[in-house]
Amino acid sequence: MSDTAPEGDKAGAATSHAAVCPLDCADTCSLAIELQDGRVSRVRGSTANPFTRGRICAKVAQALPSQVHGEGRLLRPLLRDGARGSGRFRPASWDEALDAVYEGFDRVRVRYGSEAIAPLYYGGPMGLLAHGSMDKRFFHRLGASRVDASPLCAGVSDAAWNSVFGDVGGIPFTELGDARLIVVWGNNITNCNLHLTTLIRDARSRGARLVVIDPKRTRIARDADLHLPLLPGTDVVLAYAVAAELERMDAINTAFVATWVTGAEAFLAEARQYPVERAAELCGLAPAQIRQFARLWRDLAPVATAFGVAPERNRNGGAGLRAAYALPALTGNFGPPGAGICQVSGFFPIEEDALARPDLAPDGVRELNVLDIPALVLAPGDATPLRALFIYNHNPVAVHPDAAAMQAALRHEELFVVGSDLTMTDSMALADVILPAATHLEYGDLYCAYGHTYLQRSAPVMAPLGDCLPNTELFRRLARRFGFTEDCFRDSDATLMDQALAADHPALAGRRPSELPTDAAVDMSATPAPSVIRHRPPGTPSGRIELYSETLAAQGDALPRFRPLHNPRRFILVSPASERRVNSTFGGLASHRDDMVCEMHPRDAGDLSLTNGAPVRLYNNQGEVVLPLSITDEVRPGTLFVPKGAWIGDSPTGQTVNALIPGHRADLAGGACYYDCTVDVAPL
Ligand code: SF4
């Protein structure tokens, strides 16, 4: 099986090639890429992946050709040739650019030590090779600070999960089809888990009931039997209230709890602090809604829950998830098909250490929360300052909270910034050296998923354009320039693929990952993975589901704890996933900024005498953004919605909503508090 790009197509003859969507989206769709005259002429879904079944979102179908061939594509290495941020760069050869990276990093490590250098990455392409192989090896060998990017997304959820269930997985999403009650909690599946819509619709046609918990009446919420538009940050109160109501109705599954759960008594004692009437007031719900939710938990089984990342994005995020995870435990909803929480990481036998080789790093290298990077540039105090950053798979100016701090850090005169990307993002514009990245159509990779259990391999669809390089080759060359002689820096992409997964996993049937077909996906759930109480007990210290955590007691929160909301301004601003972008990917495209509006409830608009379509100022003490107003009763009063992922060029104020988002942290894992942001609004 060859991993070289196909030969150029004959003029006029369109050819179709298998690919995989690499974006930070749960569904990891299989794609059919049509090439004509060497250019991407059409992007469709393919049926190679039985979960995504040929259906893809409009944003990828529409934007991918211009992402690959658009005028903004970076095709040559660039060196800064003017003041930082002036936009002046000059083209350079790869040798010249790699020399510049070497000299810049070397200056920093001689003066401050290697920990003054850090990678700044996130979830651009999600392939195993692009996302954590040769790049990680390089930074480990360099002795750079390690960076934990999970506080930007999923870190809080993972920490909450580990505290309650330990290192066992959840159930595959396909089991939603076996459930009699489906709970979609903080997950706008139309934008983030598109293919669940079909699964849920089919389950409902067989009689399943659907509850959606979301402050906005999203498309899936419109179809729900019960929609709970709770106030962001109050998930923990809702879960406690349901638990208390279940106890009051004598609906706790005491046999299951006695066998599998620890801490239920303490949890329920805390839950009694949130009787329905009080909880309804705190959550902004009607008491009848909470009672109805509790009755559904009492009356229906199995119950399957699909959480999104929304509940984690505030100061009560860890508590909210821990309390919500308790509901299936208290009702015994683990074990049978369709009972549990959808979570599929356990199905993919990723050999992270073999890929990333942390053994190459010197002992004791510090690990940074990615959110601390601006502070370590701007005001490091006694800590080793950060004086060199390498940005890749990431557009931190568009993605991080407190975007002004990130911009200030990247403008710091003592900071040396290297970046690699497809286009001139807001972050690349602040770099000293820019290395042109290949799109996922220009290299092969292996793809797991976080919304289904299919493993997919891709091969290059086309040769890299211009001087672009995939991450693996970029860091191979960089390692050579730095004089790193370890054999692992010579591993080919095929070798990396074979190192990426446990070779003896039965689903691979003896095939090497690098030999998997590109026109079919491998269902990793064909081999059962340990999930909560299936095949093995919970992986907690007690071996039981821990509703009271001795481990977290050391941090002060043995039980999930509600911290009252601190709302110094009139509106809570929520910046959810967009229909037009994936994180910040496809931001900056004029054709993809038409959803940049601020949604407000009619009652609030009336109070402020605001009219639909008029520009309004959203502001707090961190910044100001101007957006057209969209008045809709889909959002709850007191809450505003502005989709995330805009670039500075998308905004007339030179700031995006990320400038308004505070820098404080969630109650677990130091997570970002994207939905814990308050603003005032005024007409322009
Ligand atoms: S962004 Fe998501 S839904 Fe769209 S093509 Fe990619 S994986 Fe599929």
β-strands 181-185, 303-307 pairing: parallel
pLDDT at 1 over 50: no
Instruction: Quickly list DSSP for 302-320.
Output: SEEEEE-SGGGSSTTHHHH
pLDDT at 401 over 80: yes
Q: Say what the pLDDT of residue 297 is.
A: 98
Q: Let me know whether 542 and 585 are in one domain.
A: no
Q: Let me know whether 392 and 421 are in one domain.
A: yes
Q: Let me know whether 381 and 304 are in one domain.
A: no
pLDDT at 198 over 50: yes
Instruction: Give the CA distances from residue 84 to residues 88, 104, 117, 356, 443, in Å, rounded to whole numbers and listed in that order.
Output: 8, 15, 19, 32, 31
86: tokens are: 């002036």
Q: Let me know whether 337 and 409 are in one domain.
A: no
Residue 95, domain member (yes or no): yes
pLDDT band at 5 (very low <50, low <70, confident <90, very high): low
Mutation probe of ligand 1 site: the residue of 59, 62, 448 with most atoms within 8 A of C-beta: 59
User: What would the pLDDT profile of 55-98 be if each residue is shown by its tens digit?
Assistant: 999 999 999 999 999 988 999 999 999 999 999 999 999 999 99
Among 553, 583, 613, the domain-final residue is 553
Is residue 291 exposed (0-12), middle (13-18) or buried (19+ Cβ within 10 Å)? middle
Q: Let me know whether 229 and 312 are in one domain.
A: yes
Reduce the secondary structure of 256-305 to three states and give it as a string: HHHHHEECHHHHHHHHCCCCHHHHHHHHCCCHHHHHHHHHHHHHCCCEEE
Q: Say what the pLDDT of residue 556 is.
A: 85
Pocket of ligand 1 contains residue 21 by CB under 6 Å: yes
Q: Say what the pLDDT of residue 39 is.
A: 96
What kind and span of H or E run contains 248? helix 235-248
Pocket of ligand 1 contains residue 126 by CB under 6 Å: no
Pocket of ligand 1 contains residue 28 by CB under 6 Å: yes
Q: Say what the pLDDT of residue 531 is.
A: 81
Q: Let me know whether 497 and 435 are in one domain.
A: yes
- Determine how many CB atoms are found less than 10 A away from the CB of residue 684: 11
Residue 559, domain member (yes or no): no
Residue nearest to atom 7 of ligand 1 (CA): 28
pLDDT at 667 over 80: yes
- CATH number of the domain bearing residue 671: 2.40.40.20
Task: From the CA of 52, give the closest atom in ligand 1.
Answer: 8
pLDDT at 339 over 80: yes
Q: Which amino acid is at 421?
A: D
Residues of the chain with pLDDT > 70, as a percent, come to: 98
Q: Let me know whether 89 and 140 are in one domain.
A: yes
User: What separation in Å is there between the alpha carbon of 17 and the centre of ligand 1?
Assistant: 17
Residue 561, domain member (yes or no): no
Question: What mean pLDDT is predicted for residues 610-633?
Answer: 96
Task: From the CA of 195, give the closest atom in ligand 1.
Answer: 3
What kind and span of H or E run contains 523? strand 522-523
Helix%, strand%, coil% for the chain, nearest 5: 35, 20, 45
- CATH number of the domain bearing residue 416: 3.40.50.740
The count of domains in the chain is 3
Question: What mean pLDDT is predicted for residues 127-150?
Answer: 97
Is there a contact between 192 and 184 (Cβ–Cβ < 8 Å)? Answer: no
Task: From the CA of 28, give the closest atom in ligand 1.
Answer: 7
Mutation probe of ligand 1 site: the residue of 30, 441, 582, 583 with most atoms within 8 A of C-beta: 582
Angle between helix axes 471-481 and 94-112 (nearest 10 degrees) is: 60
User: What separation in Å is there between the alpha carbon of 31 and the centre of ligand 1?
Assistant: 9
Q: Which amino acid is at 572?
A: I
Is there a contact between 416 and 116 (Cβ–Cβ < 8 Å)? Answer: no
Question: What mean pLDDT is predicted for residues 245-261?
Answer: 98
Q: Say what the pLDDT of residue 11 is.
A: 62
Residue nearest to atom 8 of ligand 1 (CA): 29
Pocket of ligand 1 contains residue 43 by CB under 6 Å: no
Q: Which of 608, 612, 602, 607 is nearest to 634 (CA)?
A: 602
Q: Let me know whether 181 and 325 are in one domain.
A: yes
Residue 311, domain member (yes or no): yes
User: What would the pLDDT profile of 443-488 be if each residue is shown by its tens digit?
Assistant: 999 999 999 999 999 999 999 999 999 999 999 999 999 999 999 9
C-alpha dihedral (635, 637, 638, 644), degrees to nearest 10? 10
DSSP letter at 342 equals B
User: What separation in Å is there between the alpha carbon of 301 and the centre of ligand 1?
Assistant: 31
Angle between helix axes 235-248 and 276-283 (nearest 10 degrees) is: 160
Among 489, 518, 553, the domain-final residue is 553
Mutation probe of ligand 1 site: the residue of 20, 56, 582 with most atoms within 8 A of C-beta: 56
User: What separation in Å is there between the alpha carbon of 542 and the centre of ligand 1?
Assistant: 39
Pocket of ligand 1 contains residue 60 by CB under 6 Å: yes
β-strands 261-262, 571-574 pairing: unpaired
Q: How far apart are CA 413 and CA 416, in angstroms?
A: 8
pLDDT at 187 over 80: yes
Is there a contact between 327 and 321 (Cβ–Cβ < 8 Å)? Answer: no
User: What domain range is 381 assigned to?
Assistant: 78-152+348-441+466-508
Is there a contact between 207 and 300 (Cβ–Cβ < 8 Å)? Answer: no
Q: Say what the pLDDT of residue 579 is.
A: 78
What kind and span of H or E run contains 202? helix 196-205
Is residue 62 exposed (0-12), middle (13-18) or buried (19+ Cβ within 10 Å)? middle
The reply to whether omega before 77 is within 30° of 0 (cis) is no
Pocket of ligand 1 contains residue 27 by CB under 6 Å: yes
pLDDT at 6 over 70: no
Q: Is the pLDDT higher at 47 or at 123?
A: 47
Q: Let me know whether 180 and 277 are in one domain.
A: yes
User: What would the pLDDT profile of 619-629 be if each residue is shown by its tens digit?
Assistant: 999 999 999 99
User: What separation in Å is there between the alpha carbon of 85 and the centre of ligand 1?
Assistant: 32
Q: Let me know whether 410 and 425 are in one domain.
A: yes
Instruction: Give the CA distances from residue 51 to residues 172, 173, 198, 521, 531, in Å, rounded to whole numbers and listed in that order.
Output: 11, 10, 10, 9, 20
Residue 521, domain member (yes or no): no
539: tokens are: 């992986």
β-strands 78-80, 433-436 pairing: antiparallel
- CATH number of the domain bearing residue 278: 3.40.228.10
Question: What mean pLDDT is predicted for residues 546-560?
Answer: 94
Residue nearest to atom 6 of ligand 1 (CA): 21
Residue 602, domain member (yes or no): yes
pLDDT band at 567 (very low <50, low <70, confident <90, very high): confident
Instruction: Give the CA distances from residue 66 to residues 37, 245, 282, 423, 590, in Å, rounded to whole numbers and listed in that order.
Output: 15, 53, 46, 11, 11
Task: From the CA of 582, give the closest atom in ligand 1.
Answer: 1
Pocket of ligand 1 contains residue 64 by CB under 6 Å: no
Q: How far apart are CA 528 and CA 169, in angstroms?
A: 11
Residue nearest to atom 2 of ligand 1 (CA): 25
Q: Let me know whether 338 and 360 are in one domain.
A: no
Residue 603, domain member (yes or no): yes
Question: What mean pLDDT is predicted for residues 574-582?
Answer: 82
Residue 64, domain member (yes or no): no
Q: Let me know whether 209 and 321 are in one domain.
A: yes
Q: Say what the pLDDT of residue 179 is.
A: 98
pLDDT at 3 over 70: no
Task: From the CA of 61, give the closest atom in ligand 1.
Answer: 5
E-state strands within 137-195: 146-148, 181-185
Is there a contact between 496 and 129 (Cβ–Cβ < 8 Å)? Answer: yes
Task: From the CA of 59, give the closest atom in ligand 1.
Answer: 4
